[in-house]
Amino acid sequence: MTYAADLSPQQTWEALTDDPEAVLVDVRTRAELSFVGVADLTPIDKQMVAIEWTSFPTGAPNGAFLEQLQEAVPQDAAVYFLCRSGGRSAAAAEAATAAGWTRAHNVLDGFEGPLDERGHRAVAGWKNDGLPWRQG
């Protein structure tokens, strides 16, 4: 791991609540945000930042990711990357760290978490941990 830390969704919520400058960046595709839902940060007077790591439906990498991140998040801010289950967000945290963000974090289990034995995403993640969310 080359970024600051892996945190659970609950730890991330607490960090976002405690640090007024902390930012949640959701790296899922626009389709995922629209159809699956998004973290709702309004209870702590914040807005989630959406920057795709890859695009839908091709899965092509977002070549402007770091430029978009630079426009949205100061390099000295604590930034927490969220995706569906923690893979893309870990890659985003690594890329951000390599580009100069010193407090880049990955949200473990992402928004929906891993698959259960029936193939459903119902065991972990932001949504399943009962944190605030809404339909996109």
Q: How do residues 64-105 score in pLDDT, each as one tens digit?
A: 999 999 999 999 999 999 999 999 999 999 999 999 999 999
Residue 57: strand, helix, or coil? coil
Segment (H or E) for 13: helix 9-18
- For the chain, the structural domain boundaries read 5-134
The answer as to CATH 3.30.1220.10 being correct for domain 5-134 is no
pLDDT tens digits for range 40-70: 999 999 999 999 999 999 999 999 999 999 9
Site of tokens 């595709």? 29
Global pTM value: 0.96
How far, in Å, CA of 114 to CA of 110, rounded? 9
**Is 39 exposed, middle or buried (CB count within 10 Å of its CB: 0-12, 13-18, 19+)?**
buried
